[in-house]
Amino acid sequence: MIYSVYATKSTPDQMKVSKKCIDYIKQTTIAFYGTCIVKAGSSEFFGGEDSRDFQSKVLINPTYRKLFGVSKQQRKATKDDHHIFFEGILDTGKDVEVKGQNVRVLELLLGS
């Protein structure tokens, strides 16, 4: 998975932006406030016949760093080695019940 952009030879302003991207990995920046799960569908086209649906464990106030780890678990389940760039998260606006608890469903936006 590729998470952020690293500046090479840049202006001071570009270095500040790049440092913010890097800080998302190092710090505990919360990506979603609340209780949620991440879901992804299987894709025979991108993952072959071994691709399977993915659902994460219940997450509470997940950080970007935590979601980066979830993206690796998702890739292992879906076998999708094509979409490897972490671009963001999508709040689907849907809630599901998991072990008697209502949780929001998120999708990871992964690009190629």
Tell me if 47 is assigned to some domain: yes
Domains: count for the chain: 1
Tell me if 42 is assigned to some domain: yes
Tell me if 48 is assigned to some domain: yes
Tell me if 25 is assigned to some domain: no
Amino acid identity of residue 38, one-letter, is V
Tell me if 14 is assigned to some domain: no
- pLDDT given at position 20: 54
Question: Domain limits at 67?
Answer: 30-111
Which contiguous run of DSSP H or E holds residue 86?
Answer: strand 85-98
Tell me if 106 is assigned to some domain: yes
Which residues have a Cβ under 8 Å from the Cβ of 85 and sit 6 or more positions away?
A: 1, 2, 110, 111, 112
- pLDDT given at position 91: 92
Tell me if 95 is assigned to some domain: yes
- pLDDT given at position 89: 86
Tell me if 81 is assigned to some domain: yes
Query: pLDDT tens digits, the chain, 112 residues: what are they?
Result: 444 444 444 555 544 544 555 555 556 788 889 999 999 876 776 666 888 888 999 999 999 889 988 988 988 878 777 677 778 888 999 999 999 999 999 998 877 7
